[in-house]
Amino acid sequence: MNKTKIFACILALSFSFSFVNAQQIEALGALEFSPEGVLFVGDNVSGAIHAIDLKDESRTKEKFEVNLYNVDAHVAAVLGTAQTHVQINDIAVHPKSGEVYLSVTRGHGIDALPALLKVNAENQIINVDLATVKTSSQVLNNVPNGSQQFVLRGTMAPPTLKEMAKSKRPMRVLSILDMEYHKGELFVAGISNEDFCSVLRRLPYPFNGKESISNIEMFHIAHDQYETRAPIRSMLVKNIDGIDQLVAAYTCSPIVLIPLTELKDGAKVKARTLGDMGNGQPIDMVAFNMQGNEMLFVTNNSRMPQVIPLSGLNNAKVVTEKDFERGQKSDLGPVLPYGPMGKAVMFVGSSLQIDLLNEWQFVSLTRDAQTGSLDLETVYTMFPNKLNNLTAEMDFPGYTPPKQNK
């Protein structure tokens, strides 16, 4: 090969690499790590996924706890802004170092800026300089444009300011809601700009510009209807009934299964509804081991977290509208919760985001029930709560534990 052709090949490779990396990071939302330490970040402003190479993390994973109370105030101090100008969007634990990464929005509206922070074993918050890390990006197809907005839902009373503000949000903020990395592919849950807008995308990694988009339909027990717009909120890939399937949670809060083999470009996929936790919105889903059994821990913005044995999803009955009396169903009715939904567990406060810190502990971004503070704290998988807000018999002087029955 002559020098001219060699130069042309080098130039082409250089152009290809720079094209993949040229997408500016405009927002940091959902986070997902690969086992090797690549951090995938959802950017709902630019409609892109960014892959940040953090594989060369020097610290080895060790046991440590993260306990930062009023964490948004600490983040604000690191970023040099006011606490009210900080929003923490997601958390993820580095698979090698165990350090906790935070995706953050600094400011409001069009002036908001993204920030990536990490919390180390010494509970120090470090600002990751995005200009110095190796990043590749892929822009997603068919994301909603900035002018598409939600509608004001009909209510029995005049709408509140919060309800009106919700309706004015751009639909684009739901383009990327959750991500799951599995065997060299990134699965992305969110919405598209189509009328049948609930979609699952699958992207090979390293990114090569290819993208498969499947439209997702599912039967919603609480709403008594098939839905094609509301997107998946949280998901994991698990082997159920002998095949790899997405275990996914929707708003109000059905649990469904979707075989990976059905997620083909252009396919209209009907998810298999197994159950419904009841009304509310799932936020996060994480798998953990309890006494040798794999469990799913599902957080929700309107109810206590739910612990679901993964084994209960095997051979579970798939339900349709034919299995229920017609009409919407409330939590006070006899139907919900329905199916293999496990049990609700005590959690003092509301866990907004959660990840597995190590094999026996979660790290949770928690809104404290008593003070309202936003805390980043460690809780045990066997007993996922804190006792600081509870005053019970055992806290009084002179208490003696009861004798164990023999």
Asked whether the predicted pLDDT for residue 157 surpasses 50, the reply is yes
SS3 per-residue string spanning the chain = CCHHHHHHHHHHHHHHHHHHHCCCCCCCCCEEECCCCEEEEEECCCCEEEEEECCCCCCCCCCCCCEECCHHHHHHHHHCCCHHHEEEEEEEECCCCCCEEEEEEECCHHHCEEEEEEECCCCCEEEECCCCCCEEEEECCCCCCCCCECCCCCCCCCCCHHHHHHHCCEHHHHCCCEEEEECCEEEEEEECCCCCCEEEEEEECCCCCCCEEEEEEEEECCCCEEECCCCEEEEEEEEECCEEEEEEEECCCEEEEEEHHHCCCCCEEECEEEEECCCCCEEEEEEEEECCEEEEEEEECCCCCEEEEHHHHCCCCCCCHHHCCCCCCCCCCCCCCECCCCEECCCCCEEEEEEEEECCEEEEEEECCCCCCEEEEEEECCECCCCCCCCCHHHCCCCCCCCCCC
Across 182-211, average pLDDT: 97
Question: Within 13 Å, how many C-alpha atoms sit on residue 165's CB side?
Answer: 4
Q: What is the pLDDT of residue 19?
A: 35
Across 277-283, average pLDDT: 93
Q: Which of 355, 342, 406, 341 is nearest to 384 (CA)?
A: 355
Q: What is the pLDDT of residue 405?
A: 62
CA–CA gap between residue 176 and residue 201 (Å, rounded): 10
The string of pLDDT tens digits covering residues 334-376 is 999 999 999 999 998 899 999 999 999 999 999 998 899 999 9
Q: What is the pLDDT of residue 390?
A: 86
Across 59-82, average pLDDT: 91
Q: What is the pLDDT of residue 56?
A: 83
Q: What is the pLDDT of residue 37?
A: 96
Asked whether the predicted pLDDT for residue 20 surpasses 60, the reply is no
Q: What is the pLDDT of residue 297?
A: 97
Asked whether the predicted pLDDT for residue 181 surpasses 90, the reply is yes
Across 63-81, average pLDDT: 95
Q: Which of 132, 122, 85, 123 is nearest to 104 (CA)?
A: 85
Across 137-146, average pLDDT: 94
Q: What is the pLDDT of residue 406?
A: 58
Q: What is the pLDDT of residue 109?
A: 80
